[in-house]
A and B are shown apart, each in its own frame.
Chain A
Amino acid sequence: MLRAAVSGALCRRAPAVCTQSSALIRFFSAQAEPLPEAEQDVIERKGIQLHGAPMYLDMQARRQPQNACTPLLLCHCYACIAWLQPGVVLMQALPLCGTLLMQATTPLDPRVVDKMLPFMTEQYGNPHSRTHLYGWEAEDAVEVARAQVARSIGADPKEIIFTSGATESNNLAVKGVAQFYKDKKNHVITTQTDHKCVLDSCRYLQQRGFEVTYLPVEKNGLINMQQLADAIRPTTSLVSVMAVNNEIGVVQPLAEIGKLCRENKVFFHTDAAQAVGKIPIDVSAMNIDLLSISGHKLYGPKGIGAIYIRRRPRVRLEAQMSGGGQERGLRSGTVPHFLAVGLGAACDIASQEMQRDQKHIKRLSDRLYNGITSQLQGVVLNGDDTARYWGNVNLSFAYVEGESLLMGLKDVAVSSGSACTSASLEPSYVLRALGVEEDMAHTSIRFGIGRFTTEAEVDRAVELTVQHVNKLREMSPLWEMVQEGIDLKSIQWSQH
């Protein structure tokens, strides 16, 4: 029976003659059979049918809150979806948003994978082991990676500490600095559009008696320098302003803020997760004292990040992780050397490719924006149109419901600007801080363009977006009224 099976395996898989041993291995191995042609093109998940793996245009999102749409929202979408895609089968109220509002990230660059693999296979030593070859190799690799990260921001390797990601770096910066200097200084300043981890760390500090100022932003997403200058007090220890916003792509004036903070002897922290490797950053020129880096935003691995802590003038902070004193006592825990190597390689590649990537991304971003605005009216770009990183395009489509549009764009993995929390349908706090109206905040879609995005994908995204926006608008009574020239703001809606 075995012989028959083996010869069967031989006929089925390898017309050429091969040795009996390899045929045996193939027979016993559980290598997946390729899918039959009919099933190869359709992926069915959570009641949605996708034609092929979706295009990925969601490079910017970070750590969105719980992505579960309420059933109420889905009921609202049902009519639209049934209309748009007759083939789609929707079962009961499912957290559909989860499939589309992915915890977005960037794919690993194959050059980064190449650098990481030896440390995941043969060179598996603990970088803190001092007594054998494995440890020495790992330690050298980590130091090389540290130097690469430092070079990409213009810092010294001694000023870089590896952490588990930008969230941990932000926590360390905000809580660590505030707690160290709490005897003399108890005030922290941040912005209303900063990342959730910074805002949450500030709230944690507030609960423990610190004072926090949340600076408002202008309509274009930038902070007002005069307001910042007024907010700084003699008791301020830290100013934390995000470099590139992950929702709207706006770039804050880091050099100006740094100069102001240095004049007032206040530490300046910036969450540069979306900025490192994409826009030029020089911590000395910009007077930055603390900077957070995230691995998976620059085509590196997830689970690793770094924090830059200035040594001259020295920034002191309280460690948040207690343990064996690794990373200069500031962050205990074994450094995952293969992840650190990945981060270093990603930073290195990013600094070399920055010009090329910027040109490519700007070209694609213009193509996307012009493609959509030339075919649709009522499209608004959220955030300043010059002080921005072009890889992040957040557009609001008037008279269209955001989540319905996302359902239609299931072949394109984008994000809605609206944070689908499990209990409410609140629009994103960033868009709210910009003063964007509720209905426009709900219809915002963020397109993320990166190194690996292609022109064909952008063209297809434009085509699909225009198609679905038009379909939704055709069904919308509000759009009909606007076409007839009725001013929606003047309508008295009656309660039922």
Chain B
Amino acid sequence: MSAPEARALYRAFLRHAQHFGTSYNIKEYVKRRAREGFTEAQAVTDSAELARVWEQGRQQLEVVRRQSIVYGLYSRRHRHAMDLLKQEGSPAR
């Protein structure tokens, strides 16, 4: 497990977080929790602990992947108030 691999894993979390359909809260939580998790893992030096944390990260990615599909299939037909706000707020639209 190397630094580029860890970065790729983190990016994978962020990519899959977008696919949770209209579940704004879950989306934001996945991003926040991934950031916190990887920040904490940066401080780990012991190799056995590092391997365990890496494996945990990979398993959590699997959970995120599966659940992003499930949540996407059953999402609401209306967007979340906060997503609307973001959309109204950004001048690019």
Known contacts A110-B64, A114-B66: does B25 contact A452 (CB below 8 Å)? Answer: yes
The residue on A at minimum CB distance from B40 is A356
| Chain B, Cβ-Cβ closest to A41 | B84
Tell me, in angstroms, the Cα distance from A454 to B36 when the chains sit together.
14
Residues of A within 8 A of B18 (CB): none
Q: Is the CB of A111 within 8 A of B76?
A: no
By DSSP majority rule, is chain A's interface helix, strand, loop, or mixed? Answer: mixed
User: Which B residues between 1 and 43 are near A, CB-CB below 8 angstroms?
Assistant: 20, 22, 24-26, 28-30, 32-33, 36
Contacts of B71 in A (CB 8 A): 110
Tell me if A53 counts as interface (CB < 8 A to partner B): yes
The reply to whether B25 and A453 contact each other, CB–CB distance below 8 Å, is: yes
Binary CB contact string for chain B from 38 to 78 against chain A (1 if under 8 A, 0 otherwise): 00000000000000000000001001101100110000111
Is the CB–CB distance between B81 and A51 below 8 Å? yes
A72-121: which residues lie under 8 A (CB-CB) from chain B?
107, 110-111, 113-114, 117
Q: A154 on the interface (CB 8 Å rule)?
A: no
Interface size class of A (residues with CB under 8 A): 20 to 34
Check B82 for interface membership: any CB of A closer than 8 A.
Answer: yes
A387 to chain B, nearest CB (A): 28
Q: Give min CB distance, A409 to chain B, whole Å.
A: 11
Do residues A113 and B70 form an inter-chain contact, with CB atoms below 8 A?
yes
Report the separation of the CA atoms of residues A113 and B26 in the bound assembly, to the nearest whole angstrom. Answer: 12
- CB-defined contacts of B29 to chain A, threshold 8 Å: 451-452
Closest to A55 in B: B81
Whether B85 is near chain A, meaning CB under 8 Å from some CB there, is yes
Given A32-B77, A51-B84, A456-B82: A56 in contact with B63 (beta carbons within 8 A): no
CB of A29, distance to nearest CB on chain B (Å): 13
Measured in the bound complex, the distance between the Cα atoms of B80 and A454 in whole Å is 13
Taking a contact as CB atoms under 8 Å apart, the answer to whether B28 and A53 are in contact is no
The residue that A43 contacts in the complex, of B63, B67, B78, with Cβ under 8 A, is B78
Instruction: Given A53-B22, A452-B26, A452-B28, answer yes or no on A35-B63 (Cβ-Cβ < 8 Å).
Output: no
Whether the Cβ atoms of B67 and A41 lie closer than 8 Å is no
Known: A113-B67, A117-B70. A457 touches B36 (CB 8 A): no
Q: Which residues does chain A contribute within 8 Å of B60, judged by CB atoms?
A: 111
Contacts of B78 in A (CB 8 A): 35, 40-43, 52-53
How large, as a class, is the contact surface on chain B?
A: 20 to 34
B25 pairs with A52, CB closer than 8 A: no
Partner of A34, one of B24, B77, B80, B83: B77
Chain A residues with CB under 8 Å of B81's CB are 50-55, 411, 460
CA distance A342 to B28 in the complex (A): 22
| CB-based nearest A residue for B86 | A456
Nearest-CB distance from A320 to chain B (Å)? 36
Cβ B76 vs Cβ A454 within 8 A: no
Can you name the residue of chain A whose Cβ is closest to the Cβ of B67?
A110
Contact B63 A111 (CB under 8 A): yes
Q: How far is the CB of A20 from chain B (nearest CB, A)?
A: 24
Known: A110-B64, A411-B81. A454 touches B22 (CB 8 A): no
Nearest-CB distance from B75 to chain A (Å)? 10
Distance of A460 Cα from B83 Cα, bound (Å): 12
Query: Does A114 contact B82, Cβ atoms closer than 8 Å?
Result: no
Please tell me if the beta carbons of B26 and A107 are within 8 angstroms of each other in the complex. Answer: yes
With A52-B84, A55-B82, A454-B82 in contact, is A35–B77 under 8 Å at CB? yes
**Chain B's nearest CB lies how many Å from the CB of A407?**
16
Please tell me which one of the listed residues B20, B28, B67, B79 contacts residue A454 in the complex, with CB atoms under 8 A apart. B28
Q: Which residues of B contact A356 (CB under 8 A)?
A: 33, 36
Q: How far is the CB of A487 from chain B (nearest CB, A)?
A: 41
Q: Given the complex, which residues of A lie within 8 Å of B28, measured CB to CB? A: 452, 454, 456
Q: Which of chain B's residues has its CB closest to A34's CB? A: B77
Bound together, the chains give a CA A140 to CA B20 distance in angstroms of: 31
Q: In the complex, what's the smallest C-beta–C-beta distance from A231 to chain B, in angstroms?
A: 43
What is the distance, in angstroms, from B63's C-beta to the closest C-beta of chain A? 5
In the bound assembly, the distance between CA atoms of A454 and B32 in angstroms comes to 9
How does the 8 Å CB contact mask read for A10-40 relative to B, with 1 for contact and 0 for none?
Answer: 0000000000000000000000101100001
**Contact present for A114 and B79 (CB under 8 Å):** no
Could you list some 27 contacts between A and B, CB below 8 A? A32-B77, A41-B78, A51-B81, A52-B78, A52-B81, A53-B24, A53-B76, A55-B81, A107-B25, A110-B30, A110-B63, A111-B63, A113-B67, A114-B63, A114-B66, A117-B70, A356-B33, A411-B81, A453-B25, A454-B82, A456-B28, A456-B82, A456-B85, A457-B25, A457-B82, A460-B81, A460-B85
Q: A110-B71, A111-B67 are in contact. List 14 more A-B contacts (CB 8 A).
A: A35-B77, A40-B78, A41-B78, A41-B79, A41-B84, A43-B78, A50-B81, A52-B80, A53-B80, A55-B80, A110-B63, A452-B26, A454-B82, A457-B25
